[in-house]
Structure 1
Amino acid sequence: MSSLTSVNITILGSASAQPSSTRNHSALALRLDGDVWLFDCGEATQHQIQKSSVKVGKIQKIFITHTHGDHIFGLLPVLAMRLNGAGGMVDGAEDPRAQAVPAEDVQPLEIYGPLGTRAYVRHGLAYTHTLLSSPYVVHELRLPTDPQDGDYTEMPPHPLERPGRSIAQTEQGVWPEIYKGALVTVSAAPILHSVPCVGFVVNELPVPGKMDPKKYIPELKRTGTPMSAMSRLQKGESVTLSDGTVLHGPPRKPGRKIVILGDTYDPSPIASLAEDACLLIHEATNAHLPGIDPNTKETDTYEIVEERAKSRGHSTPQMAGAFAKRIRARKLVLNHFSARYPGNDDVNEEARRIMDGIRELAVNSFGSGEVICARDLMSFDVGPRAEDRPSGE
C-alpha cells in the first residue's frame, strides 16, 4: 500500500478548563487506516472512547500538547486500560502479576509530550501501584530552556517503561519528523500559551499521481510488456521497455496534512509547518455573541473579549479563522470551548444559535473554506486534497 485509504477524526472531548454535561475535557482520536492516535487525553477520556467507535486495542500513539490537567488527567487511566493495567500490592515483589514479562517483539505504546510528561506518567503509575502487561515509552520535546538530557525525575522507571528520546529543537525552533513511518510523518512546533505548549502536524507522504491508462497500455502492448508493469507506473516508478523506451509513472502529489493545535493565543511558530493544511484544529475558547448568547456582558466588546482570551492564553473564533487564512487551510475545526457554550447543538435550538454564531465569527476571518464547531463524539473523514478529488465531487 502506497497511501492511506482511510483518515478519520473523532472528537472525544471539546471542552476547555471545565467540562460540562455536554462537553468532556480535551481529547481527539485520529484514525489512520487501522491505527488510532490520540491527541490530548483529558479526564474521562476512557469513558468517551467507550461511547465512541474508537477501538482501545488499536491505540498506538498518544500526543500531549501540554501538561494542564484538562489535557492530561485522563492519560494514566487510558494507559492502564490500553495496556491491561491493574492495581498491584504495596510490595510488588510478592504480586505474581508483577512478574509477567511481555514478549520482546511487543511494540511499546508511544507517548509524545513536553517536558514533564515522562515524570507525570512515571510518578502516577508508581504511586497508584499500577501494573501493566505491555510496555510504553515517553518521548519528550525539549525547549532550549529545558534540560536537554535526563528524565527530570529521580523516580526510577516503571518496570515496563522503555527508554524514550529527549528531542531537541532545530535552529528553526521546530521538531521536524519526530515520527516517520511508511505512510506518514509527524512534526511539531511550540505554540504560545500560558505554559509550554505544542502543536502537531501530521503529514501523509506523497501519494501516487492521477494515472491515465491510455498513455501507457498501448506502449506496453506494442512491446509485449506484461500489464503488471502498470502497478509500478502507478507508484510513480519508471519502466524500461524492450525497445529501450522509458515510461515514467505520473509524478507523486503531496499527501494530506492535518494540523492539531493545543491551547494558544498565537500559533505563529508552527505556521511554516502548517501551510496548506487540509484540516486545521484550532481552539476557540471565548467569543463575544451579543444578541445570541444570553450570558453576554453588556460592557463587553469584541476587543475586550479578545484581550481577555489572550491574557489567559486562549483564542477567539476570529483569531482561529485568521490563522486558518494565513496558512491557507482548507477546513477549520473550532475546538476547546468554554463551559458556557453548550455542546448539544444537534438537538437544542439555543445551543445551535450559539454555535452558529461562533462559526460565523470564524468564517468572517477565514474568508473561504469550511468551518465546523466540534461536538463530543462527532466523527468525520478527512478526504483527499481538493486537487486530487475525482471530477464531479
Structure 2
Amino acid sequence: MSALSSVNITILGSASAQPSSTRNHSALALRLDRDVWLFDCGEATQHQLQKSAVKMGKIQKIFITHTHGDHIFGLLPVLAGRLNGAGGMIDGVDDPRAQTSALPEDVPPLEIYGPLGTRAYVRHGLTYTHTLLGAPYVVHELRLPSDPQDGDYTAHPPHSYERPGRNILQTDGVWPDIYRDKLVAVSAAPILHSVPCVGYVVNELPVPGKMDPTEYIPELKRTKTPMSAMARLQQGEAVTLTDGTVLHGPARKPGRKLVILGDTYDPSPIARIAEDACLLIHEATNAHLPGIDPNTKDTDSYETVEERAKSRGHSTPQMAGAFATRIRARKLVLNHFSARYAGNDDVDEDARRVMGGIRELAESTFGGEVTCARDLMSFDVGPRREDWPGR
C-alpha cells in the first residue's frame, strides 16, 4: 500500500479543566486505515472509547500534549485496558502474569509520546497501583533545551513491562520526524501554555499522482515490456524499457497534513511546520458572547476576555481563527471549551445558539470551514491539498 485510504477523527472529549454532563475531558482518536492513535487521554477516556466506534485493541500510539490532569488522568486506565492489565499482589508474588520472561521479545510495545514527566507519571502510576500488564509499552519523551537531555528523570526503576524509550531532542526548535513509516510521519513543536506543552503535526507522505494509462501502455506493448511495469510507474518510479527508453511515472503529490494542538495562548513556535494544514485542531476555551450567552458579564469585552484567557494559557475563537489563517489551514476544528458551554448543541437550541456564536467569532478571523467539536463527533479528513477546490 502506498497511500492511506482512510483518515478519520473521533472527538472523545472536548472539555477544558472541568468536565460536564455533555463534555468529557480532552481526548481524540485518529484512525489511519485500521490503526488508531490517541491524542491526549483525559479522565474517563476509556468510557468514551466504549461509547464510540473506535476499537480499544486498535490503539497503537498515544500522544500527550502536556501533563495537566485533564489531558493525562485517563492514560493509565486506557493503558491497562489496552494491554490486558489487572491488579496484582506486591511484586507479583505467585501471579503468573508477572512472569515477563514468557513474553516474546518481538511483541511490539504500545508507544506513548509526551513531554518530560510522562514516563515518570506512567511508571509510578502502574507501580504504585500494582498494575500487571499483558503486553509491553514504551514512553518517548520530547525534551526541551531546558530539560535534562538524558536519563529517565525519576529514581524509580522501570515497570516490568516497560521498554526503554527515547529522549528526543530538538532540532532548530522542533522535534522532526519523531515517528515515521512508509505512509506517515509525525513531527512536533512546543506551543506556549502555562506549563510545557506540545503540538503535533501528522503528515501523510507524498502519494502517487494521477496516471493516464494511455500514455504508457503503447510504449510497453511496442517494446514488449511486461505490463507489470505499470505498478512501478504508478508509484512515480522510472522504468527502463527493453529498447533503452526510460518512462517516468507521474510526480507524487503532497499528502494530507493534520495539526493537533494542546492548550495554548500562542502556538507560534509550531507555525513553520504547520503551514498548509488540511485540518487544524485548536483550543477555544473562552469566548465573549453578549446577547447570546446569558452568563456573559456586563463588565466584560472581547479584549478583557482575551486577556483573561491568555493569562491562564488559553485562547479565544478569534485567536484560533487568526492562527488558522496564518498557517493557511483549510479547516479549523475548535476544541477544549469551558464547562459553561454545553456540548449538546445537536439537540439543545440554547447550546446550538452559543456554539454558533463561538463558530462565528472564529469565522471573523478565518475564511475557511469552522467546526465546533462535540463529544463522539466523528468525521473523515480530506481531501489532500492538491485536490482542494480551486487548485
Normalised by the size of structure 1, how large is the TM-score? 0.97
**Whole-Å Cα distance in 2 between the matches of residues 110 and 387 of structure 1?**
32
2:148 corresponds to which residue? 147
Matched, 1:378 2:377: yes
2:298 corresponds to which residue? 298
Question: For residue 158 of structure 1, what is the amino acid of its counterpart?
Answer: H
Contact 2:76 2:125 in 1 (8 A): yes
**Whole-Å Cα distance in 2 between the matches of residues 117 and 312 of structure 1?**
22
**Whole-Å Cα distance in 2 between the matches of residues 339 and 374 of structure 1?**
13
Structure 1 segments of 4+ aligned residues over 6 angstroms from their partners? none
The percent identity for this pair of structures is 84
Matched, 1:89 2:123: no
1:307-355 CA-to-partner distances (Å, cap 9, x unmatched) read 0000000000000000000000011000000000010011111111111
**Whole-Å Cα distance in 2 between the matches of residues 147 and 258 of structure 1?**
30
1:274-313 CA-to-partner distances (Å, cap 9, x unmatched) read 0000100000000001111111001110000000000000
Matched, 1:176 2:176: yes
Count of residues in correspondence between the two structures: 390
SS at match of 1:353: helix
More moved, 16-25 vs 148-157 = 148-157
2:29 corresponds to which residue? 29
SS at match of 2:194: coil
Matched, 1:337 2:306: no
**Whole-Å Cα distance in 2 between the matches of residues 243 and 67 of structure 1?**
62
SS at match of 1:12: strand
More moved, 379-388 vs 308-317 = 379-388
SS at match of 2:47: helix
Matched, 1:207 2:229: no
More moved, 219-228 vs 20-29 = 219-228
Once the two structures are TM-superposed, the CA of residue 216 in structure 1 deviates from its matched residue by 1.3
Question: What 5-or-longer segments of structure 1 have no aligned partner?
Answer: none
For residues 228-243 of structure 1, the aligned pairs below 5 Å read 228-243=228-243
Matched, 1:62 2:51: no
1:127 corresponds to which residue? 128
SS at match of 1:269: helix
**Whole-Å Cα distance in 1 between the matches of residues 2 and 95 of structure 2?**
46
SS at match of 2:364: helix
**Whole-Å Cα distance in 2 between the matches of residues 91 and 243 of structure 1?**
70
Matched, 1:108 2:109: yes
Question: For residue 123 of structure 2, what is the amino acid of its counterpart?
Answer: R
**Whole-Å Cα distance in 2 between the matches of residues 206 and 96 of structure 1?**
47
Once the two structures are TM-superposed, the CA of residue 392 in structure 1 deviates from its matched residue by 11
Once the two structures are TM-superposed, the CA of residue 96 in structure 1 deviates from its matched residue by 2.6
**Whole-Å Cα distance in 2 between the matches of residues 311 and 138 of structure 1?**
31
SS at match of 1:365: coil
SS at match of 1:3: coil
Once the two structures are TM-superposed, the CA of residue 93 in structure 1 deviates from its matched residue by 2.6
**Whole-Å Cα distance in 1 between the matches of residues 134 and 386 of structure 2?**
46
Once the two structures are TM-superposed, the CA of residue 119 in structure 1 deviates from its matched residue by 0.4
**Whole-Å Cα distance in 1 between the matches of residues 193 and 309 of structure 2?**
11
Contact 2:26 2:71 in 1 (8 A): yes
SS at match of 1:167: strand
Contact 2:289 2:357 in 1 (8 A): yes
**Whole-Å Cα distance in 2 between the matches of residues 217 and 355 of structure 1?**
54
Question: For residue 213 of structure 1, what is the amino acid of its counterpart?
Answer: P
**Whole-Å Cα distance in 2 between the matches of residues 161 and 331 of structure 1?**
38
1:43 corresponds to which residue? 43
More moved, 292-301 vs 242-251 = 242-251
Once the two structures are TM-superposed, the CA of residue 221 in structure 1 deviates from its matched residue by 2.1
Matched, 1:244 2:244: yes
1:195 corresponds to which residue? 195
Contact 2:64 2:112 in 1 (8 A): yes
Contact 2:10 2:377 in 1 (8 A): yes
For residues 298-377 of structure 1, the aligned pairs below 5 Å read 298-366=298-366, 368-377=367-376
Question: For residue 156 of structure 1, what is the amino acid of its counterpart?
Answer: P
Once the two structures are TM-superposed, the CA of residue 384 in structure 1 deviates from its matched residue by 2.4
